[in-house]
Structure 1
Amino acid sequence: MLSYILFSCLLLSVQAEYCGVRAIIRYTQRLLDESSMSCPCKQTATSSCSCLPIPERGHELACFADGTKHLMENTSSNPVITRLYWTFQALLDRSLCKRLAHSDQCQYETKGNVKEFLKKILTTYQEIDKFNA
């Protein structure tokens, strides 16, 4: 599956940096439309809400990979989340989006709930799509 994603990325764009932008936007929008988790993020063991990293500029890919991995492991099986995780991980591993991956470590100042995290993914990739248009 990983090789299929990478091959698809190369077909989508001559510039690998913008690889998979529209697919990521589409998958993220689908998750936002389905998601009912908008409760406040609380970093306590009793909270039912996930606290996910809202990345600093240049650390988006690492944080998006970490956050989607957390969602994959802590929610019921969702193929869209799995697909997003593997896409982010492949982009990070192959250093394909340098402006979103200054390092492979997630750096963030705040955490947010699932909706806030997904909105950050969406706005990040919408900016890239607009710039690339």
Structure 2
Amino acid sequence: MNASMLSYILFSCLLLSVQAEYCAVREIIRYTQRLRDNSSVSCPCRQTAISSCSCLPIPERGHELACFVDGTKHLVENNESSKPVIERLYLTFQALLDRELCKRLARGNQCQYETKGNVTEFLEKILTTYQEIDKFKS
């Protein structure tokens, strides 16, 4: 094995390890802050009411990614005013889940939660989760 082959193998291993923990942190924080600051996506969470927002899952630790996919999918289907930003978030979460990236947030494909919250609470959970990852990376 020559030196160039060894350096290629080491570079490939490094690239795979970096990709395995790719969580799209900065992108998700930016989009989530944009949505949170947009008052048009805020509505009350009523378990019995049939509203356009209804209640979104506040995930258990380790099941965030699946719940973020479910919640943003619900928002895409039921919220017209911020649809492009919500759709971008949904597609990012879905890609991270499908490609099994960001392992610390995904213990399977099923959303597990103990509570539900309104849109603002859901967005705050996304934001705090990703800010924690960003702080840990720094």
Q: Report whether the alignment pairs 1:81 with 2:62.
A: no
* Aligned-partner SS, 2:107: coil
Q: Given the superposition, is the C-alpha separation of residues 75 and 39 from structure 1 closer, same or farther in structure 2, using an over 3 Å criterion? A: closer
Q: Given the superposition, is the C-alpha separation of residues 132 and 68 from structure 1 closer, same or farther in structure 2, using an over 3 Å criterion? A: same
Q: What does 1:26-105 correspond to in 2, within 5 Å?
A: 26-47=30-51, 49-76=53-80, 78-105=83-110
State how many pairs are aligned.
Answer: 122
User: How big is each residue's C-alpha offset from its partner over 1:17-42, in whole Å with a ceiling of 9 and x where there is no partner?
Assistant: 13310000000000001134544311
Q: Given the superposition, is the C-alpha separation of residues 45 and 89 from structure 1 closer, same or farther in structure 2, using an over 3 Å criterion? A: same
CA distance in 1, matches of 2:39, 2:94: 22
Letter in 2 for 1:131: F
Q: Which has the larger radius of gyration?
A: 2
Q: Report whether the alignment pairs 1:116 with 2:121.
A: yes
CA distance in 2, matches of 1:48, 1:119: 19
Letter in 2 for 1:62: A
Provide the TM-score with structure 1 as the length reference: 0.84
Provide the TM-score with structure 2 as the length reference: 0.81
* Percent of matched pairs sharing the same residue: 82
CA RMSD across the alignment: 1.9
Q: 8 Å contact 2:60–2:112 — kept in the other structure? A: yes
Q: Given the superposition, is the C-alpha separation of residues 126 and 111 from structure 1 closer, same or farther in structure 2, using an over 3 Å criterion? A: same
Q: 8 Å contact 2:58–2:115 — kept in the other structure? A: yes
Q: Report whether the alignment pairs 1:128 with 2:133.
A: yes
Letter in 1 for 2:104: R
* Aligned-partner SS, 1:54: strand
The Cα of 1:99 is off from its aligned counterpart by 1.1
The Cα of 1:16 is off from its aligned counterpart by 3.5
Answer with 35-44 or 71-80: which moved more.
35-44
Letter in 1 for 2:76: M
